Amino acid sequence: MPIYSEKVMEYFMNPRNVGEIDNPDGVGEVGNPVCGDMMTFYIKVKDKRLEDVKFKTFGCGAAIAVSSMVSEMAKGKTLDEAKKITPELVAKELDGLPKNKFHCSNLGAQALSKAIDSYLKKQAKGGKK
Amino acid sequence: MPIYSEKVMEYFMNPRNVGEIDNPDGVGEVGNPVCGDMMTFYIKVKDKRLEDVKFKTFGCGAAIAVSSMVSEMAKGKTLDEAKKITPELVAKELDGLPKNKFHCSNLGAQALSKAIDSYLKKQAKGGKK
Amino acid sequence: MRKVYLDHAATTPLLPEVREAMLPYLGELFGNPSCLHDWGDAAREAMDTAREQVAELIGASADEIIFTGSGTESNNFAVKGLALAQQGRGKHIIVSAIEHFSVLHSAKTLEKWGFELSEVPVDRYGVVDPDEVRKRIRKDTVLVSVMHANGEAGTIESIPEIARITRENNISFHTDAIASAGTVPVNVKELGVDALSLAGNQFYGPKGVGALYIRQGVRVMPLLDGGVQEEGRRAGTENVPAIVGLGKAAELATKDMASRMKHLGYLRDRLLNELPARIDHAVITGHPENRLPGNASFCVQFIEGESMLMLLNSQGVAVTSGSACTSRALKASHVLIAMGLSHEIAQGSVLFTFGIDNTEKDVDYVLEVLPPIVEKLRQMSPLYAKFIKKGEGGA
Amino acid sequence: MRKVYLDHAATTPLLPEVREAMLPYLGELFGNPSCLHDWGDAAREAMDTAREQVAELIGASADEIIFTGSGTESNNFAVKGLALAQQGRGKHIIVSAIEHFSVLHSAKTLEKWGFELSEVPVDRYGVVDPDEVRKRIRKDTVLVSVMHANGEAGTIESIPEIARITRENNISFHTDAIASAGTVPVNVKELGVDALSLAGNQFYGPKGVGALYIRQGVRVMPLLDGGVQEEGRRAGTENVPAIVGLGKAAELATKDMASRMKHLGYLRDRLLNELPARIDHAVITGHPENRLPGNASFCVQFIEGESMLMLLNSQGVAVTSGSACTSRALKASHVLIAMGLSHEIAQGSVLFTFGIDNTEKDVDYVLEVLPPIVEKLRQMSPLYAKFIKKGEGGA
Ligand SMILES: Cc1ncc(COP(=O)(O)O)c(C=O)c1O
Ligand SMILES: Cc1ncc(COP(=O)(O)O)c(C=O)c1O
């Protein structure tokens, strides 16, 4: 059996929303090369909704598929809704992840959350929107 | 590879000199069921020569082949000559014996020797010949 | 000359279906199951299937099955691995006196490593009395290992009763089911054991592969350290073709067990029932009812087993004698001695083990060729001579 | 789609001659070599031949060869068995930092059992300096284990120099030659070792079988206790078909080694020479000259190995990354880290290992499909973005 579900493979082979956002409203970076996976999420916010989500990921197949899935799940959601995306939900949407990949590669939700936090912080400091 | 040489097989399948001698001049018994092999040698002596040698053996293939070979080697020899039949010589005549069989099964020479001793003892006590 | 293989306790031939199942994995599908490419995927998939098949055979779930390289490895792994994993709790283990050497000698190695060992005796049929196990349990007992069936005597033990005792006392229980799994019903839940060994070459599967069932949640120290194969419990590139073969053999055994048992039982009974009329002073060994269906073991008095089996071989009949086959030692089988037989009688052991390809004709052939062989050896035997002359040693 | 297998370090396919040699032992000749009848004789004879063939491959004598169930078992047996057999003399052992986990983790198990362990570092090419071994020798050192060649980095070590040191100090020396035996010349006399591991599936022989050379007179504790197979040093019914296959593979390797090495070396050089022109920021790993002929290992910066190998697989190319294949762990290969590479770079490891069936066309195909894969992953990589913007992380 392949270690990854077909859905993981699909999101890995054809990743959604890869890239950066110029002048993003928020950026979230997680992971490091020792653990093997690094993800950076960029967000654009409009009317408290994620108008755009993009990511860059260094990592294994699972890490890329997770980033890809998180970006898709998040896009169009309100910030509150997006904050509720958990690693478990992501894994479920991907039809499961291998046990040993769960913790290290499943950082997408965390990166997104960090990006939202960075946006909220900027806001609190009196940013634009 | 068969564990036994062709010669061992031949002497096992067609053992020489099986049986007992009525009124033997000497009898030698060695071994016990714990070690797995028992041999009884019977001899008939004439003019200090082994006129007849017979044996009965309880034991493995090697033990039977050894008895059979010893009986053949001994027959016609003088007592002194027969006493010089060693386990090593017997094994050599049989084109070798498996290592683990050497000690326990190669009791033939000893049984023959015992039979000769029993004859000599009888003689010393003033037996017939 | 007729060739009759009656040594299925030593090893069985591969079933054609098993060989067919293995062949692709000796060809195109040669991948290493740890690898993350198509070749690896195919191998991994094959192993998953085999694991399900083996689990099904013994009523376990797939993740409770660890593949090993032999029955002996399964036993070493279980006995050493379960004891070492629990040595913090105590260092006393209990095994029966008739265990296979792969259990007994593993236990002796543990003794060298500071464990204490108690051996449980058996009765004349080779049966372990569960109460004898209970009596030996101490505060520091961490492991009991009693085999499910003895390949030599054929006797099947009362494993559920022993398991009840170990469970009450919170002690791990391993059973060596190498001689029985795939041949008679073996269900880990019904037996109530924590660990169970089985091997492919005992039920028409390949050599070089065994399995160890470890109940969910039971800890075991690896015997083979290295990579993370088998969830880190048994390292080393997996023997995929053999594992596939074991799986297939397990599937077929599950399906055909009842009819196989009937056939084997019939052949065994025919041999044992006819025997007394053909050979006097033959002592049937093992339990009269609770025994492996294909196992006909007995001792022929006044003669020795190896010479009997060599003469049988010269007539095309392959059998084994006592534990000669696994020990090549000259000593009488420790199993028969533990059952209270004298060395003299135990030396005359001969073991006929039937397989699914054997027929009535094979039994008849044995009944034809064995008596003259016995006669020939008895004519050579000093013990027989004594018995005839003085009535010594009759049983 | 073209299918190109370039993961011969993980496992090799069976040569047709090897499979042919094995088939009879999966059929008619299914006997157990311990048995004293015709079936047993045939199996024993086959094992004798295989033992000669393996001995011939490494310049040993047949009775110095013990068959095992895998390379991992050979390593566990050697490291644990040699250390335990000599623990009366001392409890200190030395291994290199780049050993396969089957050696490293065996050494760690010995640590749990009261041994002390010293690890010898390697240089950037993965070479063990014999003087670094010498420095770690103590009065109570009983065993040194340094591998002959590292399957991942490809580097071949200076075993004869290390052996000279261990001999002077009267210390046992084991070498893991699993990645090299059957591929490059390995002669136990020239190497001067006391023990050497090899495995069949590394040179077109079967899985499920390995061998351990133990020099005449050297004592080793069994890993598998039980019957008296392999002179009592490795119990368990022998995996006859696999042993026969290993023998045949050894025979063919002995015969064809020179031409195979030439072919593999050519393919490897072609790949490594063309690489820099196609992919920038690729770091070739391992020793430039003293390396296995089929091994092309390098790290592609800014991207991660597993995703690279998955995309290669989608193009029909099977490779491995670092030790991903044996560890399936997310951590960078301990071998590359020991060679001083940063985690960031080590994560980008990819390992192409050629086999005798590969051709120039396979190399050309890799050179065609790999660059766009690297490009795609770099476009996704935050590390590459940083490098492009700020020049961070270039090597
Ligand atoms: C009960 C039992 N345990 C263990 C074994 C050992 O199995 P193997 O020699 O295949 O490793 C056997 C072999 O027949 C057996 O009958
Ligand atoms: C150097 C080395 N040692 C040990 C092993 C372990 O061999 P196996 O997984 O076949 O048991 C390998 C496997 O590739 C290896 O390359």
Known catalytic residue: D35? Answer: no
Contact D251, D53 (CB under 8 A): yes
Q: What is the ipTM of this complex?
A: 0.95
User: In a mutational test of the pocket of ligand 2, which residue from D7, D67, D102, D184 has the highest number of ligand atoms less than 8 Å from its CB?
Assistant: D102
pLDDT above 90 covers what percent of chain B?
A: 81
Q: What pLDDT digit, counting tens, does each position of D28-43 carry?
A: 999 999 999 999 999 9
Rounded to the nearest angstrom, the minimum Cα separation between B84 and chain C is 25
* Contacts within 8 Å (CB) and 24+ apart, D253-260: D253/D57, D253/D182, D253/D183, D253/D203, D253/D204, D254/D53, D254/D56, D254/D57, D256/D356, D257/D182, D257/D183, D257/D184, D257/D185, D260/D183, D260/D293, D260/D356
Which atom of ligand 2 is nearest the CA belonging to D148? 1
**D393 pLDDT higher than 90:** no
More confident residue, C207 or C332: C207
Chain C adjacent subunits, 3+ CB pairs under 8 A: A, B, D
Banded pLDDT at D326 (limits 50, 70, 90): very low
Which residues does residue C119 pair with via DSSP β-bridges, in sequence order? Answer: C95
Q: A2 CB near a chain C CB, below 8 Å? A: yes
Which atom of ligand 1 is nearest the CA belonging to D229? 9
Q: What is the mean pLDDT of residues C383-388?
A: 94
Mean confidence (pLDDT) of chain B: 93
Testing the interface with D: which of C6, C23, C35, C41 to mutate, by most D Cβ within 10 A? C35
Residue D181 dihedral angles phi and psi, to the nearest 5°: -60, 130
The answer to whether the CB of C70 is under 6 A from ligand 1 is: yes
pLDDT for B2? 80
**C106 pLDDT higher than 70:** yes
How much distance in Å is there from the Cα of D200 to the middle of ligand 2?
Answer: 10
Q: What pLDDT digit, counting tens, does each position of C261-273 carry?
A: 999 999 999 999 9
- Hey, are the CB atoms on C225 and D313 less than 8 Å from each other? no
pLDDT for C325? 46
Q: A99 CB near a chain C CB, below 8 Å? A: no
pLDDT for D332? 86
Which atom of ligand 1 is nearest the CA belonging to C201? 10
pLDDT for C326? 43
Banded pLDDT at C394 (limits 50, 70, 90): low
Residue D230 to residues D44, D155, D234, D287: CA-CA distances in angstroms?
A: 11, 33, 6, 38
Contact C118, C136 (CB under 8 A): yes
Mean confidence (pLDDT) of chain D: 95
Q: What pLDDT digit, counting tens, does each position of C158-192 carry?
A: 999 999 999 999 999 999 999 999 999 999 999 99
Q: At what angle do helices D360-380 and D240-278 cross, to 10 degrees?
A: 60
Q: What is the mean pLDDT of residues C300-310?
A: 95
Q: What is the mean pLDDT of residues B41-55?
A: 97
Q: What is the mean pLDDT of residues B13-42?
A: 94
pLDDT for B1? 67
**B68 pLDDT higher than 80:** yes
- Hey, are the CB atoms on D310 and A12 less than 8 Å from each other? yes
Q: B73 in helix, strand or coil?
A: helix
**A105 pLDDT higher than 80:** no
Q: What pLDDT digit, counting tens, does each position of D215-243 carry?
A: 999 999 999 999 989 999 999 999 999 99
Q: What pLDDT digit, counting tens, does each position of A32-82 carry?
A: 888 889 999 999 999 999 999 999 999 999 999 999 999 999 999 999 999
**D387 pLDDT higher than 60:** yes
- In the chain, the amino acid numbered D30 is F
Banded pLDDT at B128 (limits 50, 70, 90): low
Q: Domains in chain B, please, with CATH?
A: 6-121 (3.90.1010.10)
- Hey, are the CB atoms on A38 and D302 less than 8 Å from each other? no
Lowest-pLDDT choice from C37-46, C287-296, D307-316, D328-337: D328-337
